[in-house]
Chains A and B, each alone.
Chain A
Amino acid sequence: MASRLMALLALVAASLVAVLLPLAAHAGTTSPSPSPSSSPSAESSASPGASPSGDAGAPQPTIGPDETGINVLLTDSSNLDSEGNGTPIPDVGLTVTDESDQEVGEGVTDAEGRAIIAVPAKGTYTVTLDEATLPEGVELDSDTPSSVTVVARLDGPNNFGAFPIGVVAADTATFADKLAAALVSGVKFGLIVALAALGLSLIFGATGLTNFSHGELITLGGISAYVANRTFGLPVIVAGIVAVVVCAAFGWAQDRALWRPLRARGTGLIAMMIVSIGFGLFLRSLYQYFFSSSTKSLSQYTSQARESYGPIALADKELAIILIALVAIAAVCVALMRTRLGKAMRAVSDNPALAASSGMRVDGVISYAWILGTALSGLSGVLLAINSQVNFLMGFKLLLLVFAAVTLGGLGTIWGALFGSMVIGLMVEVGPLFGVPSSIKEVGALVVLILILLIRPQGILGRRERIG
């Protein structure tokens, strides 16, 4: 069985190479101007004033890490992207001064137009923008001052300052254009969610565990890719493959070291669920420890111009993400349907006791489910990192949407997970066109999650169980 699984992983990895390779040619020609990296993650902020991305799990003021930071988002509101958010302006210098005009920190905006500048303590600060560093063709609006006052009341990077720049341009995009763009984003996001959901579903099917540390497995993919890419200098594509392998290994290791001993002790599922919460908290803090709480980019494909394909426009990396996800999902589905291991997994998921009594090595099958499930989630993290950026909370923020996707389709069913993910992806991206406030576009998906639980708790494609 081992060889089969390795073959399967190799297939996923190979597809990663195959689709990404043509992209490498474009690496040198990335255009610096408008970045198409609309945020498909559960990130809640692209518009000024919204709560910045950190707060889903950022330690709250009363207990947070002692560091305090000011989060500045610089966007060009005369140049709106497909979602009506201003385009970010990178490489602009900012300085922070305290109330006595002492300079306490400085920063430069990143590709997302964001800079997080640490300040020594809570208090009132003034953030000043160095107008000389603004890119050509961008100027401060006549009534926007070049400095803003920020009251740092919170621990963590949640103190917000925003510079709206330029005049808001008239909305020229037609509804059809916006819908097409949103549909494409939705499909892309849905596929990324689907990879993670498939991973969650495999693990749930084999063990019955509702894994609250699953988000951290996604993050592991993103961070591993970042480390392989930035620290070891590997090209992003190679780094992505390395990250998936690292995740697969981690999946095996965590089952061996943690979950298998717990199963052997006969630990109940609810208890295991709480263990997974602790494990998630542990990993999340560990990531923050080593990776810091800032958001970082990979070295390649950070911003690419979108090319037009008929009614839709896609950057090469987005196309690659969609294709890789599709190939990986198809490969896993075919493998689950056709191979002996796949059938064994489904058998264990259906009835572990029966599978065990008919001579199956249940522990072995569960081990493979962890390996494959974690690898898939890792791949989802890698794609998310390529699509936007890497942050220690990237997976945690996705977790509820993954749960929503899996619950929507029916916990533990493969097709259900895929179906649910696509619905969630589209809802998140298309929702804003129909009146869902774009800063909280995930809310719609979560509301659907609750409605589904209300109407059909077994999920759209799930089955009911008999009691007694």
Chain B
Amino acid sequence: MDFTDIFSTALTQALGPNAIVYALAAIGLNIHFGYTGLLNFGQAGFMAVGAYGLAVTVVVAGLPFGVGLVMAFAAPLLLAVLLGFPTLRLRADYLAIATIATAEILRLVFGSVEMKDYFGGSNGLTGYSSVYKDLNPYSEGIDWGIVRYSRDDLWSVTVGWVLVALGCLIVFALMRSPWGRVLRSIREDEDAVRSLGKNVFAYKMQALILGGMFGGLAGLFLALKQSSVVPSDYSTNITFYAYTALLLGGAARVLGPVVGAIIFWFLLSGLGSFFGQATSGVDPLIPSWIMDDTQSSLVRFIITGLALMLLMIYRPQGIFGDRREIAIDGR
């Protein structure tokens, strides 16, 4: 058992591109759920349209990369508007079902054989990221022992954390303002806010768009960092994992989703390589009749599920949160 290796794998992942994808997606969910109380279970859908917005524009339509970026922001905006008009008047659980269904529709359509010419079917789309890759100023990756990134990953990590920092800045500036106060009030009781002359629907729509665009940004970043857009990257589980990350770090806090994503990935890859090591080799630590190699990669998802349950029950304010001001009542 090589604990240094486990630790370094976990840390590399916790600060790596995957954690950035989740941090961005969870920042969006924090605006939706943490501040406004909107139960968006379709963040994967926003991510998908962001990613496909870029890929389809560049690969299928043959337009320049810059236009692709514009589309990657326009698509989630459009989705938020289309989704918001019918669903923002609904009860919280109906909104959850409508958004999860929308994300699923998008994933199925993007992956369908019939639309293969536009979205590349289940193999997805590739070949749009050369501009992004060419901008890479690094000549090689880094290996500091405890964290290791390839040249490509190093570039993505740089871009990604800048985006996350900008996102946190925007959320901070907005949420300390009276605008943010209206959102938090809507989360508490939207009828009260309405009775004070605020256009609740417009505020919810603004929150849905803003959070959705962070989702789109997460999808766009994912598309850039792995140079391919595949429909199975945008399954509902992504949304659930992003919620877990958000709740870990603490909803309705500016840095909550970022801290949460880092912890989530640290634990996920740490557990993954721990059980991976424990079950590999000639004489594994855990005998193979208890756990084989394939099963070892599943333990962390079992734990993720348990963690989400226990967090919601015992610490709905997150690991660092303040019990008095939480998005939802645990009790």
**Residues of chain A at the chain B interface (Cβ within 8 Å):** 44, 47-52, 55-67, 153-154, 156, 158, 160, 210, 262, 265-271, 273-275, 277-286, 288-289, 292, 400, 403-404, 407, 437, 439-440, 442-443, 446-447, 449-450, 453-454, 457, 467-468
Contacts and interface: CB of A to CB of B under 8 A. Distances in A.
B230 A61 contact: yes
Interface in B285-331: 293-295, 297-299, 301-302, 304-313, 316, 328-331
Q: Which 6 A-B pairs have the closest CB atoms?
A: A282-B305, A278-B308, A281-B305, A278-B309, A51-B122, A454-B86
A280 B305 contact: yes
A55 B39 contact: no
A429 B230 CA distance: 27
Contacts of B331: 265-268
Given A56-B235, A59-B301, A65 B294 contact: yes
Contacts of A437: 112-115
A447 B82 CA distance: 13
Contacts of B308: 274-275, 277-278, 281-282
A210 B113 contact: no
Interface string B81-98: 000001101111110111
Contacts of A288: 298, 301
B140 interface: no
A282 B298 CA distance: 10
Contacts of A65: 294, 297-298, 301
A431 to B, nearest CB: 13
Contacts of A439: 112-114
B93 A281 contact: no
A272 to B, nearest CB: 8
Contacts of A265: 313, 330-331
Given A61-B226, A62-B233, A440-B111, 18 more contacts: A50-B121, A56-B235, A62-B226, A210-B93, A273-B93, A273-B96, A278-B304, A278-B308, A285-B302, A285-B304, A286-B302, A289-B298, A400-B97, A400-B101, A437-B115, A446-B102, A450-B102, A467-B191
B91 A457 contact: yes
B23 interface: no
Interface in B180-239: 191, 222, 226, 228, 230-238
Contacts of A52: 122
A443 B102 CA distance: 9
B108 interface: yes
Given A271-B312, A274-B312, A407 B97 contact: yes
B18 interface: yes
B172 to A, nearest CB: 25
A449 B100 CA distance: 11
B226 A49 contact: no
B52 interface: no
Contact of B268 (A60, A63, A154, A443): A63
Interface stretch (B2-10, B65-73, B161-169, B240-248): B240-248
B112 to A, nearest CB: 4
12 contacts: A55-B111, A55-B232, A63-B18, A63-B241, A65-B298, A210-B97, A265-B331, A268-B331, A270-B92, A278-B244, A407-B97, A453-B90
Contacts of B21: 62
B142 interface: no
Given A44-B108, A277-B308, A454-B86, A407 B232 contact: no
B105 interface: yes
Given A51-B122, A278-B309, A153 B330 contact: no
A407 B99 CA distance: 14
A271 B329 contact: yes
A442 B312 contact: no
Interface string B240-264: 1101100100000000000000000
The winner among B244, B272, B276, B308 for most chain A CB atoms within 10 A is B308
A321 to B, nearest CB: 25
A75 B150 CA distance: 42
What's the dominant secondary structure at chain B's contact region?
Answer: helix
Contact of B114 (A48, A268, A440): A440
Nearest to A49: B113
A245 to B, nearest CB: 25
Contact of A446 (B89, B96, B105, B114): B105
Nearest to B225: A62
B233 A400 contact: no
A300 B222 CA distance: 45
A259 to B, nearest CB: 11
B237 A281 contact: yes
A102 B328 CA distance: 56
B194 to A, nearest CB: 10
Given A51-B111, A271-B330, A262 B313 contact: yes
A443 B109 contact: yes
Nearest to A449: B101
A277 B108 contact: no
A449 B102 CA distance: 10
B153 interface: no
B330 to A, nearest CB: 5
Given A55-B122, A281-B240, A210 B96 contact: yes
Given A65-B297, A283-B305, A289-B295, A271 B97 contact: no
B228 A50 contact: no
B328 A268 contact: yes
A286 B306 CA distance: 11
Interface in B99-141: 100-102, 104-105, 108-109, 111-116, 121-123
Contacts of B316: 271
A443 B93 contact: no
Contacts of A210: 93, 96-97
A447 B111 CA distance: 17
B181 to A, nearest CB: 21
Given A52-B122, A63-B241, A453 B231 contact: no
B56 to A, nearest CB: 17
Contacts of A442: 108
B280 to A, nearest CB: 10
Contacts of A443: 105, 108-109
B328 A270 contact: yes
Given A281-B305, A449-B98, A61 B295 contact: no
A7 to B, nearest CB: 33
B122 A453 contact: no
A51 B98 CA distance: 23
A393 to B, nearest CB: 10
Given A282-B306, A450-B98, A467-B191, A55 B235 contact: yes
Contact of B297 (A49, A66, A153, A400): A66
Contacts of B304: 278, 281-282, 285
A392 to B, nearest CB: 10
